[in-house]
Amino acid sequence: MALTLGRSIARWRWEVEEGIPAEIRRGRLLLSERPVWSDYPIPLYGIPDQVYEVAGSSLLVVDTKVRPRPAVSIRDAVQLSVYRAILTYTRHPLFKGRTTQPYGYLRFSWDGCVRYMRLQLYSVDAVMRLALAYLRAEQSVGRHRIT
């Protein structure tokens, strides 16, 4: 009993010190640094840092960035948005058919500090358009072939 209580207190203290958003604290970790992919409408692949089940059964993506200071880039928004698109279309039994939150979190780590920033993600349609434009541009320079 005392060991369980001690672990609970240690976890609570870590969550408070790290500033983990409440919805993540209340959520359930489903995936950590494991590949996910989808084949429809185009093949996509990625390795999100974490995927949580929040608000019942909805999926939430979290990605950690180690930088000299917390700063969000367009690449960060695209990366999390691609993970969301993959989870939307995957056939993986753990994720198939679940809704995904229209936002994710970036967890920044720098100089011993940690900060979570909520980031609105691009729509799944926008990600697909972006991916197709990228593939067409690559094809035009002869790097990939779209069938």
- pLDDT tens string, the chain, 147 residues long: the values are 556 767 766 666 666 677 899 999 999 999 999 999 998 888 899 999 999 999 889 999 999 999 998 899 999 999 999 999 999 999 999 998 899 999 999 999 999 899 999 999 999 999 999 988 888 888 877 655 554
Q: What is the pTM of this model?
A: 0.83
Long-range contacts of residues 21-24, Cβ cutoff 8 Å, at least 24 apart: 21/105, 21/116, 21/118, 23/54, 23/55, 23/60, 24/52, 24/54, 24/60, 24/62, 24/105, 24/116
